[in-house]
Structures are given as C-alpha cells and as structure tokens.
Amino acid sequence: MSEELTNAVANLEKDEALRLTSEKLDRGEDPQLVLKEGRDGMEIIGKRFADGEYFLPELVYSGEIFKQISEIIKPKLKADTTSEKLGKIVIGTVAGDIHDIGKDIVVFMFDVSGFEVYDLGVDVPSQKFVDKIKETNAPIVGLSGFLTLAFESMKETVEAIKAAGLRDKVKVMVGGGQIDEDIRRYADADAYGKDAMTAVSLAKQWLGGK
C-alpha cells in the first residue's frame, strides 16, 4: 500500500493530502484502505506530539485535515453500509477536556460502520451522559479524554451512571491520548479502546457480533 497519503497527513501537507485522497477514490481504490492511510498519518502525528516534535497547534491542524479527508471518503463508505443501524452509542469528551480530534475520528468510524451515534461534544458533564442514555436507551457509552484531568471525570461519569441505576444497562468504553488499561480500571469502565477500529470492534462484540 502506498504511503503517500500517510506521509502527507503526517507532514501536515493539507492540499497534497486532499488531492491524493480524491485521486485514490477516483481510481476506484477501496475507501476503507484510503481512510486507513489517513488514520496511519494521524497515528504518526500522535507519536510526534508525544515526543514533543509537534505541539497543540499542529495537533489541531491535523484534526482539520483528517476531517476534510473524512468528508471526501464518507459518501463512498456510506454506499457500502446498510440502512439498518447496528445499535446506538452515546459518546463525548468528558468534563474539563475540550479535545475533540480523537473523539471525532471515533464518531466518524462508528457512523460509517452503521451505528446510530449521539455525539455530545466536548467538556460534557456527567449528568448530560446520564440524560442522553435515558433519552435514547443506548446500550453503549464512549468516554473520550486527552488530558490527565479526564481520568477523574471518567470515574465521576461512570459513578453518575451507577447512581442513576443505569450501569447494568450499558457498556462503557474509554479512550484518548493518555488513557490506558489502568485508567479503565480506575474509572470502572468495561473496556479501553486504543483506537477507533478497536472501539468499533468492541461495540460489535457487545451487540452480539452483528
């Protein structure tokens, strides 16, 4: 597989990345593979950010590039999905955290994978998650966070879900920049999704492997 698109995204070459995306789709390349090249570029960006090579402005800009790539690819992916939704998921970046890049990638993958997604946005209070679960009867909740302060917010959100008597009715997954299995245990969530595809796979397993 060509790494041209991956490198263009990783190097923040917006125009080149968008041109390559369109060209690949026009040639009839698999939109899932084109999307994977874009995601691979985002993974490189994440590593560069962690290593101090990139900073927040680059991270934000890369998110905008990926969003535009996603918009080009999305219609092609939609054509491959059925109209029947696999299931519902409520997702949001927890209170105190305003990062949306990772969350938006996950939301996008859930959407094109056939899920009905309720995206609550960023800096979402615990009660808003609870209210949306009650409103939609969604069986899956995704808690996203990038900053270390998100750890406590995730824990508080799961506790709020418990207090509302909903914990046995939903599966909770956590993910984001510094989230790992230890944080999953701390927050008392059901699973840690290390990336968007893992999150989708987990949700499908929870829904009975549809």
What pLDDT is stored for residue 209 in this prediction?
Answer: 52
**170 in Cβ contact with 141 (< 8 Å):** yes
Higher pLDDT pick, 98 / 82: 98
Last residue of a domain, one of 78, 105, 136: 78
pLDDT tens digits for range 22-46: 999 999 999 988 988 988 888 788 7
The span from the first CA to the last CA of the chain, in angstroms, equals 29
Q: What residue numbers bound the domain in which 32 lies?
A: 4-78
pLDDT for res 78: 64
98 lies in a domain? yes
Q: How many domains, the chain?
A: 2
194 φ/ψ angles, rounded to the nearest 5 degrees: -75, -20
Q: Say whether both 128 and 62 belong to one domain.
A: no
- Measured distance CA(185)–CA(178) in Å, rounded: 14
Query: In terms of domains, do 99 and 172 share one?
Result: yes
Give the separation between CA 25 and CA 34, rounded to whole angstroms. 8
Looking at the domain assignment, is residue 83 inside a domain?
no
Q: What is the enclosing helix (H) or strand (E) of 191?
A: strand 191-192
Do 105 and 131 lie in a common domain?
yes
Residue 136 has pLDDT above 60, yes or no: yes
Q: What is the mean pLDDT of residues 89-118?
A: 87
14 and 96 co-located in one domain: no
73 pLDDT exceeds 50?
yes
pLDDT for the residue 210: 44
Position 94 in a domain: yes
Whether residue 189 is found in the same domain as residue 121: yes
Q: Which residue has the higher pLDDT, 137 or 102?
A: 137
Asked if residue 184 and residue 137 are part of one domain, the reply reads yes
Q: Which of 48, 78, 108 is the last residue of a domain?
A: 78
What pLDDT sits at residue 57?
A: 86
Longest dimension (CA), the chain: 53
pLDDT for the residue 74: 84
Q: pLDDT of 49-68, one tens digit each?
A: 778 898 878 877 888 898 89
The arithmetic mean of pLDDT across residues 145-149, rounded, is: 88
pLDDT, position 169: 95
Q: What percent of the chain has pLDDT over 90?
A: 58
CA angle 117, 120, 123 (to 5 degrees): 145
Helical (H) or strand (E) element with 171: strand 171-175
Strand, coil or helix: 192: strand
User: What average pLDDT is seen over the chain?
Assistant: 89
Q: Are residues 118 and 201 in the same domain?
A: yes
Contact 76, 26 (CB under 8 A): no
Q: What is the CATH number of the domain that holds 140?
A: 3.40.50.280
Question: pTM higher than 0.75 for the full model?
Answer: no
Task: Indicate if 57 and 120 belong to the same structural domain.
Answer: no
Average pLDDT over residues 98-112: 82
Indicate whether 11 belongs to any domain: yes
Residue pair 73/24 in contact (Cβ under 8 Å)? The answer is no
Say which range, 18-27, 41-50, 119-128, 152-161, has the weakest mean pLDDT: 41-50
Q: Supply the DSSP string of 72-131, one letter for each residue.
A: HHHHHHHTTS-SS---EEEEEEBTT----HHHHHHHHHHHHTT-EEEE--SSB-HHHHHH
Structure confidence by residue, pLDDT tens digits, 3-18 = 999 999 999 999 999 9
Show the tokens assigned to 111: 């959407």
Answer with the one of 78, 110, 128 that is the final residue of a domain. Answer: 78
Instruction: Write the CB contacts of 18 (distance below 8 Å, at least 6 apart in sequence).
Output: 65, 68, 69, 72
